[in-house]
Structure 1
Amino acid sequence: MKKMITVDEQLIQREMDFWNVPGLSVSIVKEGQEPYTKSFGWRDKENQQKVTDTTLFGIASCSKAMTSAVIAMLVAEGKLDYDVPVTTYIPDFALMDEEASKNTTLRDMLCHRTGLGGHDAIWPVPKTLKEFAQAFPYLQPSAPFRSLTQYSNIIYAVIGYAAEAVTGQTWTELMHHYLFDPLGMTQTNCQAKSMTDSDNFAHPYQVLDGVLTKLPVWDVDSVAPAASVNCTAIDMCKWLNFLIRKGRTAEGISLIPEDIFETMITKQVEYDDCLGPDKSLYPTDGYAMGWKTGEYRGKAMRRHTGKIEGYSTIQAFLPEDGVGISVMMNLHSPTVAIMHTVLYSIIDSLLELPAIDWTWKFRDDKKPTAEDYKDCHIDVFHSVYPDAIPNTMPPKKLMEGYKAHAYEGTYFNAGYGPLTIIAQKDQLYMEYRDMSLPLEPYWSGNFMINNVKEDILTLSIPLTFICDENQKSIGLKARFEPLVDDIVFLKK
């Protein structure tokens, strides 16, 4: 009889209560032992519906490792190659950087070294992966090709497009055909609608101004290969077992040859990151293909976090020790420590390492405040204009420059698409993507926009109208991407 995995469930519940986490699921596998799953709390707190081991959670960027696994299978079949230009498979692929356009490979994309980072403002949009990639020639790179590792959700969308091109199947079909079905992950899906159509999914939550608030499910299908998988605790065990078996199913069938599996999880580039909220604890040494590489207390570990609107996940496996762990929760916060406290405590127990009280490594006993949940906001505006104070011009002068209705209209950028400015009385609003946000005037023609949503972050950004000699608006520029120049939109 296989040995059972034991977990300090009181620690998990105590940390959930402290951090105001509505629901959480843990999955653990260890070679030679029975898989462990345990679920806590509420999938719908208002309606008192409990999380179970078959409750779906959005795993966000943990999807990248699954996308990477499918690519590895296509490499094994000879349909793809890590090291030939991706234009071999998708001839219409192009980037603004000519060298990158000609030479970018799947290896470059999988380890984030194309030079194109960020630009998360361009999604979500109702486009296919092929349509989404048509924006890329118009997006300014933030580093020279292969010079720097820059995390990129949008590049992972193109990885999925390449897989679609060589198979004739959609990315969703590929994920089921190559991964979910062979592993028996019958509850897992990779579309927002598939999750919300389920009768057992965890509703997303975020702490806003100190109050736990239910959010709508965010449809990220336009970057699906980067972030759209929804999984359960039971199915996560099947995925983790596949990893510790080095690409083999429970029946011993090899889906990824061992040499390709090793390539997939081996460091490809330097990557500056950490394995927890405290950067002094277990920094990573690089990025593989959908995995961050590093060590935990001298043990080789591969891991990735996943964070999206209302969900946070961490998955990790220790390839030399035959251990895999996942923690999924329906709370939005990039650095709330509970995932790392739980992960590290479980590893210590499984490997019988000297105990560390991880709770007190990441927090004291003071209850978290609203500020503790504001780690996902970036004030780009004041980094550009550090001395700016709103409405500093005399009111008459300010309103002369304001002329709200003169700014109305639709503006267009080939990479970012259409952006509409509307006026309601003297208040301007930006309508872009799935957002409608007010413009706060600072001085003539210059505004700040708060709460611009980009991936897990909200930004405060500057927006400036471009006017002709008659003070008629002919365009605007906005700092949607902090690492490059202002994005210029011309009035249609």
Structure 2
Amino acid sequence: MLLLIRYLLGLLPLIRSTPNNSRVTNETTYFAIASNTKLFTAVALSLMIEDGTKLPNGQLLEVTSSMKDVVPGWAMENATAGNEITLRDVMSMRSGLPQHILAITPSDSPTTAAGRTPFLTQNVPSGQNGTYQYSNHNYEILASIPTYLLNVSIETYVQDRIFTPLGMGATRNASFAGTKERSMGYLRSAPNVTACAALLAGGGNITDLSCLGRPEAFDFWTEGTNGGFYGGAGINLRGVDMIKWAKELMKPSVLPSAAVNRLKTLVPAANTDAPTNSSSLVETIAYQAGLISQWYRGHKIYIHDGALPGSNSYFAWSPDSGVGVLVAANEDPYSVYINNVIVNTVLDDLLGLAPIDWETRFIEGFLGSGGSISPSGAMAGSIPTTGSTSNTTTSAIARRPAPEGYANTTFIDRAYGNLTLLPLNLSSPASYLSACIPASYFLNAIAVPLSLNLTAPTYYAAYNHSIVSHFIFTHFDGPLYNYTTLFVRDRLDAMGRVDGLTAKVYAMGSAVFAEGGVGMFGNFALPAAGLALDPVEVDVKDKATAFFGRV
């Protein structure tokens, strides 16, 4: 474990500074660990099981408990599935729900976030014989359970049962947002994958700004308490706390070992005892509960990554070998790759494996992706552009006009809230400024690459949810519009002063204005790769991922 400390302390000073710019980060700087929070939530539920927590019907809480017996008023879009889903299904990402992460607001509590479940679409079969699909909403549901069964918030439960006994100085978002001892968030403006490929081919340095884009700082991803995010992504750790957490998971001395071990074997799989292909470098076993069991070069390990605007994390640990690595960085989006390179390189060293050039592998992966790095569990959106009428057709056609104007019109969805559309002139800098949208980012990262029609009727809505601040609707053909959801924050200069805006895309796809509202298709709920929903113009209300009815 001393090797882990050495690696952490050697890397942290290389990461960008804290908000007051007084010093570089070190082992006591707080980093958002994003979805690596899920393991804390899973351990909390496992501790409740160990404690013999009782359900309202008098039975004991178990991983096999039906969710309708655990959460008061439990219901799902698919009533049959809702009656059959168990705690194990939700913990192991087999509820049938996609991400639905755009619905969360800064003022949510875990119970209000979980209360949206009946109004959220399910897009794959649920249950242990169903389909695995990563969904943050599953852990928003789980975070509500201590409140329902113990009348104690998940924040208090984790603090009392995990942080305090382990001597961890971890925080949740409510207190984290006010401290100066945290890392700032960084995004990249105008990355150019073509330039990256040319530099790499010529033996150049791809860290050049012409390739990676300009780093832009913002304060922190949340401006509120974001209690609804706690179960899935709300914890922030220091390097010294990461070490304590990794040590405890690998060899529990404070937490009951049964509570930790239960999470590692929640979902059985055919390759649990040995990899199916002994020559493969990496082979996934299953998503368990806040962790993924995996074969890594012949060693069984447990991993999880995390992504929030401006922050990424990666955790890998091998109980059998006594090796653990938890890396957090604020170089979004490239820390998705940086973290993987660091973790794999350190694992190879500590496990005594022959070195592999992971950096080149991940660089090639980045270039092959076209430079698109999406949020955890998401994929780049496929949307109609100037030469297509669907997600697959590329032939040019005659355009149908927009059916009517929607300026100053409000639309409402029971789970996703309100959208009030206002006009946006894509050729007017003043219009972007009024909408608080960075014009250069939208044009260079979205409009030009996707060949959007800059003269088409376009609207925006200030959404102000947790990870999405704006919707932009650009007309394509008849009732079909392209939509883009943006995370926009004030950009800060080296002295911490506001200097324009920075942004990140979260979801793109097709919106259909019909049947008294607007139906959202494409990647609106951030489903698993390959499950983007093609738009339809008939039965829009029934087939859309979400339907905002016109007020």
Give TM-score scaled by structure 1 length.
0.80
**CA apart distance, 1:41:** 3.1
> Within 2, Cα distance between the matches of 1:385 and 1:296?
36
Asked if structure 2 preserves the Cα contact closer than 8 Å seen for 1:267 and 1:288, the reply is: yes
- Name the counterpart of 1:478: 520
Give the structure 1 partner of residue 380 of structure 2.
Answer: 378
2:55 aligned with 1:49, yes or no? no
Match among 5, 14, 28 for residue 40 of structure 1: 14
Separation in 2, partners of 1:424, 1:37: 44
Residues 196/127 of structure 1: CA separation in 2 closer, same or farther (3 Å cut): closer
Task: Report the CA distance shift for 1:444/1:224 in structure 2 as closer, same or farther (over 3 A).
Answer: same
CA distance in 1, matches of 2:13, 2:310: 17
Q: Aligned with 1:333: secondary structure?
A: coil
5 Å-filtered alignment, 1:423-438, equals 423=423, 427-434=458-465, 435-438=469-472
Instruction: Answer whether contact 1:42 1:48 (CA < 8 A) is retained.
Output: no
The amino acid that maps onto 1:75 is I
Asked if the contact 1:312/1:328 (under 8 Å) is kept, the reply is yes
Which one of the candidate residues 217, 230, 233 is aligned to 1:214? Answer: 217
For 1:70 and 1:330, the matched residues in 2 are separated by 27
Using the TM superposition, give the Cα deviation of residue 281 of structure 1 relative to its aligned residue in structure 2, in angstroms: 3.8
Q: Is the contact between residue 391 and residue 442 of structure 1 (CA under 8 Å) also seen in structure 2?
A: no
SS at match of 1:379: coil
Structure 2 equivalent of residue 142 of structure 1: 123
Question: Contact between 1:195 and 1:201, CA under 8 Å: does it hold in 2?
Answer: yes
Report the count of equivalent residues.
Answer: 437
Pick aligned residue for 2:238 from 215, 222, 232:
232
Encode CA deviations 1:445-467: one digit per residue, 9 max, x unaligned.
3211224569x962222122226
SS at match of 1:100: helix
SS at match of 1:419: strand
Partner Cα separation in structure 2 for residue 85 and residue 367 of structure 1: 42
Structure 1 position 242 matched with structure 2 position 240: no
Deviation at 1:113, TM superposition (A): 0.9
For residues 51-83 of structure 1, give each alpha carbon's deviation from its aligned partner in whole angstroms, at most 9, with x where no partner exists.
Answer: 111101000110011111111111100113211
How far did residue 335 of structure 1 move? 7.3
Q: Is the 8 A contact 2:29 2:238 kept in 1?
A: yes
**Where does residue 259 of structure 1 map in the other structure?**
258
CA contact (8 A) 2:119 2:415 kept: yes
How far is 1:145 from its partner?
2.1
Structure 1: how far apart are the matches of 2:20 and 2:268?
Answer: 45
- 1:128 lines up with 2:109 in the alignment: yes
Given that residues 392 and 442 in structure 1 are in contact (C-alpha distance below 8 angstroms), is that contact kept between their aligned partners in structure 2? Answer: no
1:85 alignment counterpart? 66
Contact map agreement 1:411 1:419 (CA 8 A) in 2: yes
Q: Which amino acid aligns with 1:476?
A: V
Q: Report how far residue 430 of structure 1 moved.
A: 2.7
Whole-angstrom CA distance in 2 between matches of 1:390 and 1:349 = 54
Tell me the amino acid that sits aligned with residue 248 of structure 1: S
What residue is the counterpart of 2:445 in the other structure? Answer: none
The yes-or-no answer on 1:190 pairing with 2:182 is no
Aligned AA for 1:463?
A: A
Whether the 8 Å CA contact 2:381–2:509 is kept in 1: the answer is: yes
* Aligned residues of 1:86 and 1:162 also touching (Cα < 8 A): no
Superposed CA RMSD in Å reads 3.3
Range 296-305 or range 371-380, more displaced: 371-380
- Indicate the residue corresponding to 2:316 in structure 1: 316
Residues 1:67 and 2:37 aligned together: no
Q: CA separation of 1:241/1:368 partners in 2, compared to 1, >3 Å: closer, same or farther?
A: same
Matched, 1:450 2:484: yes
The offset of 1:336, in angstroms, is 4.1
Q: Secondary structure at the match of 1:327?
A: strand
Distance, in Å, in 1 between the alignment partners of 2:358 and 2:462 is 44
Deviation per residue, 1:131-190 (Å, 9 max, x gap): 22222112221112211111110111110111221121111111101110010002x112
Closer, same or farther in 2 for the Cα pair 1:367/1:104, shift >3 Å?
closer
C-alpha displacement at 1:97, in angstroms?
A: 1.6
Partners of 1:411 and 1:476 within 8 A in 2: yes
Spell out, residue by residue over 1:104-145, the C-alpha distance to the aligned partner (whole angstroms, 9 max, x if none): 222111101111222222123422221222221122211122
Q: Give the Cα separation in 1 of the matches to 2:270 and 2:471.
A: 35
CA distance in 1, matches of 2:134, 2:483: 25
Q: 1:227 to 1:374 in 2, by over 3 A?
A: closer
Are positions 1:113 and 2:113 aligned together? no
Is this contact kept in 2: 1:271–1:287, CA < 8 A?
A: no
Q: Which moves more between the two structures, 442-451 or 316-325?
A: 442-451
Of 509, 514, 526, which residue of structure 2 is paired with 1:461?
A: 509
Shift of 1:424: 5.8
| Unmatched tracts of structure 1, length 5 or more | 10-25, 28-35, 250-254, 273-279, 468-473
Give the Cα–Cα distance (whole angstroms) in 1 for the partners of residues 19 and 397 of structure 2. 42
Greater share of strand: 1
Query: Percent identical across equivalent pairs?
Result: 21
Q: Per the alignment, in what secondary structure is the counterpart of residue 165 of structure 1?
A: helix
Amino acid at match of 2:30: L
Query: What letter is aligned with 2:253?
Result: R
Which of 185, 202, 223 is 1:204 aligned to? 185
Partner SS for 2:548:
strand
Cα 1:183–1:367 shift into 2, 3 Å = closer
Contact kept, 8 Å, 1:207 with 1:373, in 2: the verdict is no
Instruction: Please report how far the alpha carbon of residue 8 of structure 1 lies from its aligned counterpart in structure 2 after TM superposition.
Output: 8.6
Q: Map of 1:415-430 to 2, 5 A cutoff?
A: 415-423=415-423, 427-430=458-461
Query: Do residues 181 (structure 1) and 164 (structure 2) align?
Result: yes
Amino acid across the alignment from 2:15:
G
| Match in the other structure for 2:147 | 164
Contact 1:85 1:106 survives alignment (8 Å): yes
Which sits farther off after the overlay, 70-79 or 419-428? 419-428
What letter matches 1:70 in structure 2? Answer: A
**1:427 Cα shift?**
4.4
Please, which runs of 5 or more residues in structure 2 have no aligned partner? 54-60, 191-212, 272-279, 426-456, 489-503, 534-542
Aligned to 1:5: 3
1:207-258 deviation per Cα after TM superposition (whole angstroms, max 9, x unaligned)? 221111113422343121001110000011111111111x323xxxxx22x3
